[in-house]
Amino acid sequence: MGTCHDRTRFHVLKVIFLACVFLLAAIASTLSKNSAKSPNHKKIVGPNACAECHKVETEVWKKTHHFTTFKKMPRSKEARKIADKLKIKRIKSESLCLTCHFTTRIKKKKKKPIAGISCESCHSAGKDWEKVHSGFSGKTEKTESKTEEAARWKKVDKLGMIRPAAVYDLAKNCYSCHVVPQEKLVNVGKHPAGSSFELVSWSQGEVRHNLWYSKGKNKKASSDRKRILYVTGLAVELETALRAVAVATKSKSYAFKMALRADAARKKMKRVASSIPQAGEIAAIAELGYSAGLKLNNKKALTVAADRIAAKALAMIEKYDGSTFGGVDSMIPNENKYKGKPAK
């Protein structure tokens, strides 16, 4: 009898144990999906390596603020003022500033800035995927089969490359810099709390470099893609703002600015949801925006809401291609609102 009882108990424990393992795995996978993807400094190949093949894209990049900030920012009076308030001596060796203003590589165990915000700040560090993405599976563009091509892109995605198709990851990347979640940097350093960012207008102006597949013609994003960019961008805006409110500890400028940002984003999301009533994921995102109070000491609820928004945004992108999202067209900024002029 004893053995039978023990065996049942063992079985129950095993089930509980397995359930825990699955739960932990699920938590770990959402965590990795939700964390900002700062590129791995050890795996940066640098923009010159990309330029060997992507010459025209590199020329366009060199005309953007992302390129010019490398030389300009550390020399600016504004930067010195911020650094002085935070008692920072050398901006280019201060990792707080490095994460958002530069591409850094580890050299002799030290982080060394090698460029401004460059290819790998947005497409992720290239060391692991660079050869694979351009290798045509060991064949040529003409002889690689469709199946081999699909397998190559799948492999490249696994190796961490962020491709134009991965709209959520791209948006996360922009927002990891364009919202500034460092309370002290904002309250004490008086650094801007972020940009008035919006994904369509900020990606289709000076930043746009859709030149590769169109053989040098800088192609506009299609109207379906713009809808996906717009809605995904707004979801990530809301997610990021909630996370920024979650880490606020003082009732000062940082907390107010982030709470205002989150409130504006959820209001806009509500309007988007009512203009695309058929997409349940969008309605859920809007509702989640109101599920946690925008106040100090509310980290847990705000983080849960942000995690759920992330999951819904990913599900939305999986399911829709934008063709049925015409309801938002009137909300999408038009060309005269784009940030900077796109290169020809």
Of residues 187 through 246, those in contact with ligand HEC by CB under 6 A are 189, 191-192, 195, 202-203, 205-214, 221, 225
* Amino acid present at 339: K
Q: In Å, what is the CA distance from 233 to each residue of 45, 166, 301?
A: 28, 12, 22
Residues 7-46 as x/- pattern, contact with ligand HEC by CB under 6 A: --------------------------------------x-
Please, which residue, 98 or 288, has the CB nearer to ligand HEC?
98
CB of 4 to ligand HEC, least distance (A): 58
Q: Which residues of 33-58 are buried (b: 16+ CB within 10 A; e: fewer)?
A: ebeebbbebebbebbeebbeebebbb
Please, which residue, 61 or 284, has the CB nearer to ligand HEC?
61
Footprint on residues 265-304 left by ligand HEC (CB under 6 A):
none
Asked if residue 126 binds ligand HEC (CB under 6 A), the reply is yes
Angle, vertex CA 184, rays to CA 181 and CA 186, nearest 5: 65
Which residue from 205, 207, 204, 192 is spatially nearest to 66, judged by alpha carbons?
Answer: 207
| Cβ contact 44:103 at 8 Å | yes
Q: How many residues interact with ligand HEC (rule CB under 6 A)?
A: 71
Asked if residue 174 binds ligand HEC (CB under 6 A), the reply is yes
Residue whose entry in the numeric block shows the structure tokens 């690689």: 144
Please, which residue, 243 or 339, has the CB nearer to ligand HEC?
339
Identify which range of 7-15, 21-29, 96-104, 324-332 contacts ligand HEC by CB under 6 A.
Answer: 96-104
Residues 299-338 as x/- pattern, contact with ligand HEC by CB under 6 A: ----------------------------------------
Residue whose entry in the numeric block shows the structure tokens 């999408």: 332
Residues whose CB is less than 8 angstroms from the CB of residue 144 and which lie 6 or more positions away in sequence, other chains included: 136, 137, 152
- Per CB under 6 A, the list member of 41, 43, 47, 227 interacting with ligand HEC is 47
Footprint on residues 128-157 left by ligand HEC (CB under 6 A):
130, 133-134
Tell me how far apart the terminal alpha carbons of the chain are, to the nearest angstrom.
Answer: 82
Which residue from 259, 333, 275, 273 is spatially nearest to 309, judged by alpha carbons?
Answer: 273
Footprint on residues 98-117 left by ligand HEC (CB under 6 A):
99-101, 117
